[in-house]
Amino acid sequence: MMATTRRAVRRNRDADWNAWPVAEYLAENYRQMHPCDRGVIHHHCAFFRQFAPGSLARTLELGAGPNLYPLMLATGAARRVEALEPGAASRAYLRRQLTYGPEDSWEPFYALARALDPGLPPTLTEALTRVHVVQGDAGDLVDGHYDAASMNFVAESVTEDFGEFTALCAAFARAVRPGGGLVAAFMERMPSYRIGHGPVWPACPVDESALRAVFGPRTADLRISRLAKDRTLPEYGDTGVLLLTARRPGP
Ligand SMILES: C[S@@+](CC[C@H](N)C(=O)[O-])C[C@H]1O[C@@H](n2cnc3c(N)ncnc32)[C@H](O)[C@@H]1O
């Protein structure tokens, strides 16, 4: 009889998030604006524009990584944006951007965001004064702590275990107060992936029906849309990007 070997499912704790390859990740994804970034920015700006400038006391960016643009998008509506991130290298990068000023490559992202949301502060440097980097992960989230929460390419990109994906999304949805808004982006159907020639990072391929199954019972006003696969990015094996807005049920 032939022996079959089944590879173990890689869970979130099996990857070393402190060793996230910040420079390669930025080079592959964010040193220039890709069509999918434009799509995400349009979508998320429409979400944040529904709130008057400065009307949200505290918002969350869960698993911020070294990506500055979701953080900037929240700074029109939010007086304080918390970038929660378990990885030391990503936190160090974000802190350098906040302390010494953002790298020039982020300016086109801010120009587009501000054209779409005039409630954003006049400059990116000013916007970033509202951002605070916090060490931690989804397991540290406190129920109802935030007025709104954002998550980009995290729950599906940090585990191969669908149960763990679900738990991470549930913690994200519970992090806002009842009635609080949620905005998120997911890689569609992306399997585990590499950045450059580095190690394989665990991922969980999800589609729209998976997002509906996870967020439907936990949220109200759930809306999901899709961006076509971005062929200007490296081949991550995805089929596009899924965009989500919802709110936590309640007043
Ligand atoms: C694919 S990156 C996405 C980074 C960034 N949000 C973006 O838009 O490019 C996944 C991020 O999730 C973080 N992460 C890993 N496990 C996490 C967890 N359990 N809770 C929150 N974030 C986590 C990683 O450190 C990494 O920064």
The predicted-structure confidence for 127-180, as pLDDT tens digits, reads as follows 999 999 999 999 999 999 999 999 999 999 999 999 999 999 999 999 999 999
CA distance 1 to 11: 31
Q: Model confidence at 69, in pLDDT bands (50, 70, 90)?
A: very high
In a domain, 197, yes or no: yes
Q: Is pLDDT of 20 > 60?
A: yes
Mean pLDDT over all residues of the chain? 97
In a domain, 64, yes or no: yes
pLDDT at position 251, please? 79
CATH number for 45 = 3.40.50.150
Q: Supply the residue whose CA is at minimum distance from atom 9 of ligand 1.
A: 67
Pick the closest to residue 186 from 220, 155, 218, 165 (CA basis): 155
* Distance from residue 24's CA to the centre of ligand 1 (Å): 15
Q: Is pLDDT of 35 > 90?
A: yes
* The ligand 1 atom nearest the CA atom of 61: 6
Q: Model confidence at 5, in pLDDT bands (50, 70, 90)?
A: low
Q: Is pLDDT of 7 > 90?
A: no
Q: Supply the residue whose CA is at minimum distance from atom 23 of ligand 1.
A: 63
* The ligand 1 atom nearest the CA atom of 63: 22
Query: Apex CA 223: angle with CA 82 and CA 33, to 5°?
Result: 55
Q: Count up the domains in the chain and report the number.
A: 1
pLDDT at position 2, please? 57
Q: Model confidence at 4, in pLDDT bands (50, 70, 90)?
A: low
The pLDDT > 70 percentage for the chain reads 98
In a domain, 3, yes or no: no
* Distance from residue 62's CA to the centre of ligand 1 (Å): 7
Domain carrying residue 119: 20-247
Give the pLDDT confidence of 189-210 residue by residue, as tens digits: 999 999 999 999 999 999 999 9
In a domain, 14, yes or no: no
Radius of gyration of the chain (CA): 17
In a domain, 174, yes or no: yes
CA distance 34 to 112: 12
Q: What HEC string does the chain produce?
A: CCCCCCCCCCCHHHCCHHHCCHHHHHHHHCCCCCHHHHHHHHHHHHHHHCCCCCCECCEEEECCCCCCHHHHHHCCCECCEEEEECCHHHHHHHHHHHHHCCCHHHHHHHHHHHHHCCCCCCCHHHHHCCEEEEECCHHHCCCCCEEEEEEECCHHHCCCCHHHHHHHHHHHHHCEEEEEEEEEEEECCCCCEECCCCCEECCCCCCHHHHHHHHHHHCEEEEEEEEECCCCCCCCCCCEEEEEEEECCCC
Q: Model confidence at 3, in pLDDT bands (50, 70, 90)?
A: low
* Distance from residue 217's CA to the centre of ligand 1 (Å): 24
The pLDDT > 90 percentage for the chain reads 96
Pick the closest to residue 90 from 65, 113, 112 (CA basis): 65
Q: Is pLDDT of 1 > 60?
A: no
Count of other CB atoms within 10 angstroms of residue 199: 12
In a domain, 166, yes or no: yes
Q: Is pLDDT of 88 > 60?
A: yes
Ligand 1 binding pocket, CB closer than 6 Å: 12, 17, 20, 62-65, 67, 70, 85-87, 90, 137-138, 152-154, 157-158
In a domain, 4, yes or no: no
Threshold 0.85, pTM exceeds = yes
Q: Supply the residue whose CA is at minimum distance from atom 4 of ligand 1.
A: 65
* The ligand 1 atom nearest the CA atom of 17: 25
In a domain, 146, yes or no: yes
Q: Supply the residue whose CA is at minimum distance from atom 14 of ligand 1.
A: 63
